[in-house]
Amino acid sequence: MSKLILLVDDSVTSLLRSRAFFGNQKDYQVISASDGVDGVEKALAHRPDLILMDVEMPRMTGIEACRALRSNKATMRTPIILLTMRGEDAAVKAGFDSGCNEYMLKPMNEEKLTNVLKKYLK
C-alpha cells in the first residue's frame, strides 16, 4: 500500500525537485500545495500519511500551518517535516514549538530525507 505525502512549497523549483525524488519511489504517492492555506485545506481533505512543508511561504507560513494542523483532530498526529533555508536557533525552536516532528535544512539531503520517511512511514 503506497503512502500519501503532501508537499507544501511556494517554490516551483523545490516542488519539482521533491517530485523528482519521489518519482523514483513506488512506495509513495505525492500531492502538492502552493502555500500554507492550500496545504492545510489539502491535508484536511486528503489526510496524507506525512507532510513535507516549507517554512517561508505567502498567505500562511509553514509554522502557522503546522500550528493549524496540530490543533485539528484529523491531522494532530500526522508527521510534519518542516523544510527551510533558516537554520538559526530561533527558527529551529519556532519550528519545533509549532509542533513539527522534524526540522530539515534545504537543499534537502536525499539520504537524510529517505531515513526520515522510513522513520515515520514504516
Contact 8, 31 (CB under 8 A): no
Q: Which of 59, 69, 63 is nearest to 35 (CA)?
A: 59
Contact 60, 40 (CB under 8 A): yes
Q: Is 90 exceeded by the pLDDT of residue 16? A: no
Q: For the segment 64-87, what is each residue's pLDDT rounded down to a tens digit? A: 999 999 999 999 999 999 999 988
Determine the pLDDT at residue 23. Answer: 79
Q: For the segment 19-37, what is each residue's pLDDT rounded down to a tens digit? A: 888 877 788 899 999 999 9
* pTM (predicted TM-score): 0.94
Count how many domains the chain has.
Answer: 1
Determine the pLDDT at residue 44. Answer: 98
Residue written as cell 513539527? 100
Containing structural domain, residue 102: 3-120
Report the CATH number that the domain containing residue 76 is assigned in CATH: 3.40.50.2300
| Cis, peptide link before residue 107, omega less than 30° from 0 | yes
